[in-house]
Amino acid sequence: MNLNEAIIKRRSVRAYQDKPVAPELIQKIFHEAQESPSNCNTQPWHVVVASGNARDEIEKSMVSDIMAGKTPTPHFTPGDQNLKDEYRKRQIACAISLYDAMDIKYEEKDKRQQLMLRNWQFFGAPHAAFFSMPKTMSEINAVDMGIYLQTVMLLMTANGLGSCPQGALAMYTDKVHELANIPDNHAIMFGLSFGYPDESAPINQFDVGRAELGDSVEFLT
Ligand X SMILES: Cc1cc2nc3c(=O)[nH]c(=O)nc-3n(C[C@H](O)[C@H](O)[C@H](O)COP(=O)(O)O)c2cc1C
Q: Which residues bind ligand X (CB under 6 A)?
A: 11-12, 79, 94, 119, 164-168, 190, 208
Shortest separation between residue 221's beta carbon and ligand X, angstroms: 30
Q: Which is nearer to ligand X, 23 or 199 (CB)?
A: 199
Q: Which is nearer to ligand X, 11 or 46 (CB)?
A: 11
CA distance 167 to 116: 12
Shortest separation between residue 97's beta carbon and ligand X, angstroms: 8
Shortest separation between residue 181's beta carbon and ligand X, angstroms: 24
Instruction: Please count the CA atoms within 13 angstroms of the CA of 123 that sit on its side-chain side.
Output: 28
Which residue, among 76, 177, 178, has the nearest Cα to 135 in the 3D structure? Answer: 76
Q: What letter does residue 206 receive in the DSSP assignment?
A: -
CA distance 215 to 219: 11
Buried/exposed code over 19-31 (b: 16+ C-beta within 10 A; e: otherwise):
eebeeeebeebbe
Q: How many residues does the chain have?
A: 221
Q: Which is nearer to ligand X, 152 or 182 (CB)?
A: 152
Shortest separation between residue 168's beta carbon and ligand X, angstroms: 3
127-134, strands of its sheet edge to edge: 46-51, 127-134, 186-195, 162-166
Q: Which is nearer to ligand X, 23 or 100 (CB)?
A: 100
What is 159-202 written as a DSSP string? Answer: TT-EEEEEGGGGSS-HHHHHHS---TTEEEEEEEEEESB-TT-G
Shortest separation between residue 166's beta carbon and ligand X, angstroms: 4
Q: Which is nearer to ligand X, 23 or 79 (CB)?
A: 79
Shortest separation between residue 149's beta carbon and ligand X, angstroms: 7
Q: Which is nearer to ligand X, 52 or 72 (CB)?
A: 72
